[in-house]
Amino acid sequence: MITLDSKIPEGALAQKWTEYKAHQNLVNPANKRKLDVIIVGTGLAGAAAAASCGELGFNVLNFCIQDSPRRAHSIAAQGGINAAKNYQNDGDSVYRLFYDTIKGGDYRAREANVYRLAEVSNNIIDQCVAQGVPFARDYGGLLDNRSFGGAQVSRTFYARGQTGQQLLLGAYSALSRQIEKGSVKMFTRREMMDVVIVDGKARGIIVRNLVTGELEKYAAHAVVIATGGYGNVFFLSTNAMGSNAGAAWKCYKRGAAFGNPCYVQIHPTCIPVHGDYQSKLTLMSESLRNDGRIWVPKKKEDAEAIRAGKLKPTQIKEEDRDYYLERRYPAFGNLVPRDVASRAAKERCDAGFGVGETGLAVYLDFASAIERLGKKVIEARYGNLFQMYEKIVDDNPYETPMMIYPAIHYSMGGIWVDYELQTTIPGLFAAGEANFSDHGANRLGASALMQGLADGYFVLPYTIQNYLAAEIRTPRFSTDLPEFNEAKKSVEALIDRLMNIKGKHSVDYFQKKLGKVMWDKVGMARNAQGLKEAIEEIKAIRREFWQDVRITGATDEFNPELEKALRTADHLELGELMARDGLLREESCGGHFREEYQTPEGEALRQDDRFMYVSAWEYAGDDREPILHKEALKYEEIKVAQRNYK
Amino acid sequence: MEKKNLHLTLKIWRQENAKAKGRFVTYKINDISPDCSFLEMLDQLNEQLVDKIEKPVCFDHDCREGICGMCSLFINGRPHGNDSGITTCQLHMRRFRDGDTIWIEPWRSAAFPVVKDLVVDRSAFDKIIQAGGYTSVNTGGVPDGNALPVKKKNADLAMDAAACIGCGACVAACKNASAMLFVSAKVSQFALLPQGQVEAKERVAAMVSRMDALGFGNCTNTGACEAECPKEIKITNIARMNRQYYISAFG
């Protein structure tokens, strides 16, 4: 039975991290060489942690599923990274970034973690600049900032529309340096299949070599999971095709609690769905909301005419347009947080004002920004995004407004971790999007990059030492231990079972079916009845999958169908837990919107007296209901209020 | 606007593994929407192959929005196909006509051996970066981000070079299978920034020598790399790298 201990240090909020570092245990340089650390994932959190731990002198084994660590999906983040530098002299501070993040998360994040995140945000910018990340600069040569949703200051640092790429390549370059030095050993095209527990501690992993199909065993003194989020449970999301919940799910099934699985972020500005052959959705950066204005026609007949192709958006007069975000939220306007913007778009489309062929789209219009600033300025700011849009949609956004609609983008929930980023399994850590820790029920724009790098560069290298200090007398493990062989055998059995089903339907058939249930019933708006139905429907799809999936090819070869099947098998279980968590949480908060709990104006209505806690689920066996644990959230520094962006 | 779906003939390179002999296999595929992407067309082919209990075509892909650099197809004789400034995942079927025959091959270069079908091994690129594609700074203990001003023009040029996604199209396009555009993009990024100056000489020497050792060809200024680069990285970066290299060798 799990007990949750968040291990928040004593003392004033602003002093906790300083105090922690001052008193934590350290490992001396000679001993670091004798300690092995496995890090799974090479995104911002994984690559930054691997590089930093390697620099410290630990012996790091780093794994990724792609052909190179540079491909991790952090690379696709566009808009920017937040930091409390206050370079703009507009009133920013560590406290304000902390406050905005807690409020943005709808008062469902842990105060101490978020404060630390805000505190180290400034170090991240310094670090990346030193690495040669080409951030945008002003004519004076100093760093430039832009605004993002949920904040009234400009604190977002950016590298055109490719900030994630540049930050990831910075971490990748630091990682490459350690690989060259031999302190990090890199394993590409490997997918984690299980975590190995020896005497109650995480001691290694089983991976599948995606080229040969071989199952490989690796041992270490500690294991870090930095494998990203689980948006692909929905099939259509902005996540990369290979992004999956497998590694995190295996940790859950070995005893790590899973925190807040129902909290997923639906990003308001994505290119709308256009056909049933579609494989993924493309995000258009939130930064576009700096200059783009979101609207739908005011009159239903105009919306109908547009959908029928009889009217163009440019023909709708200014007074016949409903800039609904500016109307509903005058203080933040088009820069309200993502959950608010997404719901508002859904509300308009559901009411019959949507545009595009399907009626599931709204306009993001740059006409007034182009008139005010000129095409050149807009091109310099968003050129690559406009080009991306034009290639996909075959429409010129300089002339016709973009069409956008919300899509699954990020998971705030994830493996439950304590203040040290340690899971409920000793020696198993989770970093970046894979953990649940910092964003509460909704993540603010430009905060994912901040959290990934904070965890990887500045938190984990400290906290993992506190754990490893007690391991200096533990000699290197042999992977011949029975625990490793048992774990490997169970993976073999799973793969054999899958391959021998020889059913009628492809893996995608099931993943798409799951995705539809998730989107319809565990998506942007949820209710008790729908969630109950979803649980039953997911169980039924899971049964069908295990009786009727067809995987061609062999086990001992490069076999993408088998890879997908293994991931979908996990998603079919996680999807149910997400619905279960959503059903339990009888309130609306952040990305979790329960239709039964809303204000008369349609805003999210929290139930603080009943749900001011993190739900942490414990696996109890395939045929048994998971066990719920609650971590109460205590707000000592911040006055809890209803979020107001009006 | 009525959009007509496409009926196509695909000639796809199939190769069991690195050691096996490869060959082109012909497939027919019908009713492809012009709005779907090239990789979504291949997804549909693979679904049909699974239906027929055949092995699907293996190809590398991940983000499907042109930034991860994973996709790598040589389509009708061009890396990333018949469009400019895009990767294969951003290529849409509206660029093809009904009845077309499409030839699909992996990157062809000794330094990028085929793994299976259309998948190649590009770890040589990682090895070049490992030779010196970084500034040697550890985490922590660095100066304030604004301590070192950078001319906006240089920051912009550095960003242009840093936009490289490491897909390998430059190598695939080059008749010599040279990696000069890839290496020069990284060298240029650092050459244009003050942070890169400390190790400038060692960096360019180490990266060029690693590139040579890995079996990439030489540059003969054909410019195919620039023409096919999905991120439109300029060949002027190669000139900048050459200057850096001379300074490193003789300066």
The pLDDT assigned to B155 comes to 97
Q: Is residue A433 part of a domain?
A: no
Alpha helices (H) along A356-454:
367-373, 375-393, 448-453
**Residue numbers in A near B84 (CB within 8 A):** none
**Residue A645 distance to chain B (closest CA, Å):** 32
CB-closest option in B65, B145, B193 to A126 = B145
**B81 in the same domain as B156:** no
A29 shares contact with chain B (CB less than 8 Å)? no
CB-closest option in B33, B51, B143 to A277 = B33
Which one, of A384, A460, A404, A392, lies nearest residue A428 by Cα? Answer: A460
**B137 in the same domain as B98:** no
Q: Is residue A512 part of a domain?
A: yes
**A391 in the same domain as A296:** yes
Q: Is residue A295 part of a domain?
A: yes
Distance CA A473, CA A352 (A): 67
**A504 in the same domain as A602:** yes
- Residue type for position A98: F
Percentage, residues of chain A above pLDDT 70: 100
Residue B250 has pLDDT above 90, yes or no: no
A166 shares contact with chain B (CB less than 8 Å)? yes
Active site residue A338: yes
Residues in CB range of A34: below 8 A, 6 or more apart: A59, A472, A476
A135 shares contact with chain B (CB less than 8 Å)? yes
Q: Is residue A597 part of a domain?
A: yes
Exposed (0-12), middle (13-18) or buried (19+): which is A390, by Cβ within 10 Å?
middle
Would the CB atoms of B36 and A552 count as touching at under 8 Å? no
Would the CB atoms of A52 and B139 count as touching at under 8 Å? yes
* Span B123-139, pLDDT tens digits: 999 999 999 999 999 99
User: Which domain covers residue B24, as residue numbers?
Assistant: 6-115
* Residue B146, domain CATH: 1.10.1060.10
* Residue B66, domain CATH: 3.10.20.30
* Residue A501, domain CATH: 1.20.58.100
**B127 in the same domain as B111:** no
Residue B213 has pLDDT above 80, yes or no: yes
Residue B1 has pLDDT above 80, yes or no: no
Buried b / exposed e along B184-216 (16+ C-beta atoms within 10 A): bbbbbbbbbbebbeeebeebbbbbbebbeebeb
The pLDDT assigned to A521 comes to 97
**B233 in the same domain as B132:** yes
Entry field: residues in chain B: 251
Tell me how far the alpha carbon of residue B206 is from its chain's centroid.
22
Interface test with B, best of A52, A58, A68 (most B CBs within 10 A): A68
- Residue type for position A518: M
* Span A461-476, pLDDT tens digits: 999 999 999 999 999 9
Exposed (0-12), middle (13-18) or buried (19+): which is A309, by Cβ within 10 Å?
exposed
Distance CA A554, CA A556 (A): 6
CB-closest option in B70, B130, B135 to A67 = B70
pLDDT bin (cut points 50, 70, 90) of residue B2 is low
The pLDDT assigned to A240 comes to 98
Q: Is residue B1 part of a domain?
A: no
CB-closest option in B35, B69, B193 to A71 = B69
**B15 in the same domain as B40:** yes
pLDDT bin (cut points 50, 70, 90) of residue A644 is confident
Q: Is residue A160 part of a domain?
A: no
Distance CA A14, CA A191 (A): 39
* Residue A346, domain CATH: 3.90.700.10
* Span B28-60, pLDDT tens digits: 999 999 999 999 999 999 999 999 999 999 999
**Residue numbers in A near B58 (CB within 8 A):** 558, 560
A127 shares contact with chain B (CB less than 8 Å)? yes
Which one, of B163, B162, B181, B134, lies nearest residue B67 by Cα? Answer: B163
Which of residues B57, B80, B115 is at a domain's end? B115
Collapse the DSSP code of B237 into the 3-class scheme (helix H, G, I; strand E, B; otherwise coil) and give the result.
Answer: helix
Give the CA angle between residues A49, A51, A55 to the nearest 5°. 115
Interface test with B, best of A128, A143, A279 (most B CBs within 10 A): A279
**A284 in the same domain as A379:** yes
* Span A303-348, pLDDT tens digits: 999 999 999 999 999 999 999 999 999 999 999 989 999 999 999 9
**B183 in the same domain as B111:** no
Would the CB atoms of B189 and A132 count as touching at under 8 Å? yes
* B163-171 mean pLDDT: 98
User: Which domain covers residue A598, as residue numbers?
Assistant: 482-614
Domain total of chain A: 2
**B246 in the same domain as B130:** yes
**Residue A560 distance to chain B (closest CA, Å):** 7
Which of residues B89, B115, B141 is at a domain's end? B115
Which one, of B193, B203, B135, B190, lies nearest residue B164 by Cα? Answer: B190
Percentage, residues of chain A above pLDDT 90: 92
Q: Is residue A278 part of a domain?
A: yes
ipTM: 0.98
The model carries a pTM of: 0.97
Q: Is residue B169 part of a domain?
A: yes
Pull the structure tokens for residue A260.
């807040």
Q: Is residue B244 part of a domain?
A: yes
* B146-156 mean pLDDT: 97
Find the residue in A nearest to B130 (Cα): A176
For β-strands A362-365 and B23-32, DSSP reports them as unpaired
Q: Is residue B91 part of a domain?
A: yes
Q: Which residues pair with B75 in a beta bridge?
A: B78, B104
Domain total of chain B: 2
Residue A128 has pLDDT above 50, yes or no: yes
- 3-state SS of A306-327? HHCCCCCHHHCCHHHEECHHHH
Residue A585 has pLDDT above 90, yes or no: yes
Would the CB atoms of A131 and B137 count as touching at under 8 Å? yes
**B93 in the same domain as B132:** no
User: Residue holding tokens 């192959």?
Assistant: B49
* A413-431 mean pLDDT: 98
Would the CB atoms of A85 and B145 count as touching at under 8 Å? yes
**A488 in the same domain as A404:** no
Would the CB atoms of B56 and A75 count as touching at under 8 Å? no
The pLDDT assigned to A380 comes to 84
Which of residues A355, A374, A408 is at a domain's end? A408
Would the CB atoms of B140 and A127 count as touching at under 8 Å? yes
Q: Is residue A381 part of a domain?
A: yes
Distance CA A589, CA A613 (A): 12
Check the CA dihedral A570-A508-A40-A122 and report its sign.
negative
Distance CA A625, CA B183 (A): 54
